[in-house]
Structure 1
């Protein structure tokens, strides 16, 4: 028996299924999306997927100094961090609207940035 003003259980289940489908679609979109981060004025470029997987790393020969590999390592780390920060922002932008329907907590989904 449904009381007036209370949502129908079937409607709640349909809404939950729709949200789940949207979440799966957004996760797939993130996995396929790629973002690029740079450091050293573009000497080092890192490309990661929206889910944070490193796909490519490019190092300009000008960044390679055999006597100073520490700087090159720092540039690589900075480029990867920049790319990951962009991936986290992309994830927040894509998943944020869905968070409202989940109580706003996406930390249990294992997504980068949450």
Structure 2
């Protein structure tokens, strides 16, 4: 079949280009999306982007005790973990459909986190 494989190759390239554009768009959205995580009933709040970049930490003055720094440290770690988990959920929502469209290629995409 002369030339029989050519249209499929062109179609695959178009699909790959479209997925690349969708991926870039989703990554941009993730960088602009902010999610929060909290610990200690909201005494410590961490804000991260959808791409898991830490943006801010808010600490209620009630939790600041110079004689018990360890509790504050633990609350900060817990809030950041909570926010990071929320960012992972947002990543799955935004990137999951794109990765599904990549079929078996998704495992070879570094940096996607899934």
Runs of 4+ in 1 over 6 A off after TM superposition: none
Shift of 1:108: 3.4
SS in 1 for 2:51: coil
Deviation at 1:106, TM superposition (A): 5.0
**TM-score (norm. length: structure 2):** 0.89
**What does residue range 94-105 of structure 1 map to in structure 2 within 5 Å?**
94-103=94-103, 105=106
What is the CA deviation profile of residues 65-113 of structure 1, one whole-angstrom value per residue up to 9, with x for unaligned ones?
Answer: 11111000000000000000000110011100011122253573313x4
Match of 1:110 in 2: 111
* Correspondence for 2:80: 80
2:37 aligns to what? Answer: 37
Counterpart-to-counterpart distance in 2, 1:42 and 1:18: 42
Unaligned ranges ≥5, structure 1: none
Task: Provide Cα deviations, 1:4-36, integer angstroms capped at 9, x if missing partner.
Answer: xx9622111111100100000001100111000
Give the structure 1 partner of residue 71 of structure 2. Answer: 71
- Number of residues of Structure 1 aligned to a counterpart in Structure 2: 111
The residue number in structure 2 matching 1:93 is 93
1:36-74 deviations in whole A, cap 9, x for unaligned? 000000000000011111101000000111111100000
TM-score normalised by length of structure 1:
0.89
Mapped partners of 1:86, 1:108: distance in 2 = 22
Give 5+ residue unaligned stretches, structure 2.
none
